Amino acid sequence: MEIDILAENRHLADHNREKMRSMGIRSVDVMGSIGSGKTAMIIALSKVLAKNGKKVAVIAGDVTGQDDYDRFKEAGISAYNVNTGKECHLDSTMIDRALDHMDLRGVGFLFIENVGNLVCPADFPLGTDHRMVVISVTEGDDMVRKHPMIFQDADLAVLNKVDLAGYMEVDVDRVQRDYRTLRPDRELILTSVRTGQGLERVIHALED
């Protein structure tokens, strides 16, 4: 039963991938814990992309409500809200439906903010070009060790709020070592949405 659901999700993820690629859209599944800065990061990245002439759209995924959706709209970003109800992750069906309802003409980048947690989204790829995990120093320095699955599945990982590392007494090097042990081929990008540190690097990785 569980295997069927995962297989069906993967099948529809392939369909979403084809759909987005045929429209010339580069897509990013933004996963990460609650409060790590996913919404703030997407808004900040969108501003840089807009300056570079790229049109951005966002699918805001949350269990309930439209707080993030409202923040995206306030920032002038074209957005679509998806509530998952009881589910702790978005799935390919939800994205398929959202894509059908959105006006994606001219959109070059689509960010999909997944439901905030480091467990459920790992098993449900959505068909995006990139899967990015955002953690932050306010969650401590053991996130990578405690949630290896999601870091294995994602091709991009970001440690955000490094401007607060000193206050939180978090050892950034330790997080980087943990990540390197898990993914020797990848780099954990250090960012601060507050200061702008690392944002260009993230965009570079997403455009790669």
**Under rule CB under 6 A, residue 34 binds ligand GDP:** yes
Amino acid at 92: S
- The letter for the amino acid at 108 is G
**Residue 163 interacts with ligand GDP (CB under 6 A): yes or no:** yes
Q: Does 68 bind Mg ion (CB under 5 A)?
A: yes
- From 9-17, 77-85, 125-133, 189-197, span contacting ligand GDP (CB under 6 A): 189-197
Out of 27, 36, 39, 128, point to the residue binding Mg ion (CB under 5 A): 39
Q: How near is the Cβ of 115 to Mg ion at its closest, in Å?
A: 9
- Could you tell me if 46 and 77 are in contact, meaning their C-beta atoms sit under 8 angstroms apart? yes
What residues contact residue 196 under an 8 Å CB cut-off, 6+ apart? 44
Q: Which of 193, 199, 202, 206 is in the footprint of ligand GDP by CB under 6 A?
A: 193
Query: HSE of 177 in the Cβ direction (CA atoms, 13 Å)?
Result: 6
Do residues 58 and 143 lie in contact, with contact meaning Cβ atoms separated by under 8 Å? no
Rounded to whole angstroms, the maximal C-alpha distance in the chain is 47
Between 12 and 159, whose beta carbon lies closer to ligand GDP? 159
- Return the C-alpha torsion angle 134, 140, 144, 147, nearest 10: -90
Task: Select 68 or 139, whichever has its Cβ closest to Mg ion.
Answer: 68
Residue ranges that bind Mg ion, judged by CB under 5 A: 38-39, 68
Residue ranges that bind ligand GDP, judged by CB under 6 A: 32, 34-40, 116, 160-161, 163-164, 192-194
